Amino acid sequence: MNGYYYQPAKTADTIWVPENVLYTNQFLDSEGAEMTEEEARLIKQWRVYDLCSWRMVAQNAYRYGIDNSDWEPPDNQIVGRELCDKAAKILGEDANKHPWN
């Protein structure tokens, strides 16, 4: 199928993910992938105040080694979204609401 495989999403919908992309739940929910409150605040800085896209959040987190930084490609948009969700939860906020999204 042209280098793509079927991956069920968290909802009833489906998504198509390139074969070389690590599905985020395999990474972000793994052991040793704990995010500190300081890292969560840094992610919030990038997303909310620096107006970074999810791709840029993932790229920055990859560079800084946040949350084990073991995903490919470094600017994975899905990972950026999951990192924002995780950071918002740590800070007691909702990544689906203002000012996060």
The answer for residues whose C-beta is within 8 angstroms of residue 94's C-beta and 6 or more apart is 88, 100
Q: Give pTM, 2 decimals.
A: 0.69
Q: With 80 as the cut, is the pLDDT of residue 26 above it? A: no
Number of domains composing the chain: 1
pLDDT at 22: 45
Tokens for 54? 């999810």
What residues form DSSP beta bridges with 7?
15
Q: What percent of the chain has pLDDT over 90?
A: 52
Instruction: Give alpha helix (H) positions in the chain.
Output: 24-28, 37-44, 54-64, 77-90
Check pLDDT > 70 for residue 16.
no
The Cα 56–Cα 62 span in angstroms is: 10
CA 47/CA 12 separation, integer angstroms: 28
Domain contains 64: yes
* Mean pLDDT confidence for 67-84: 88
Q: Looking at the domain assignment, is residue 11 inside a domain?
A: no
d(CA 87, CA 100): 10
How confident is the model at residue 3, as a pLDDT? 45
Domain range for 45 is: 21-90
pLDDT at position 28 is: 53
pLDDT in tens, 46-72: 999 999 999 999 999 999 988 777 788
Could you tell me if residue 12 is inside a domain?
Answer: no
Spatial CB neighbours of 99, under 8 Å, sequence gap ≥ 6: 48
In a domain, 62, yes or no: yes
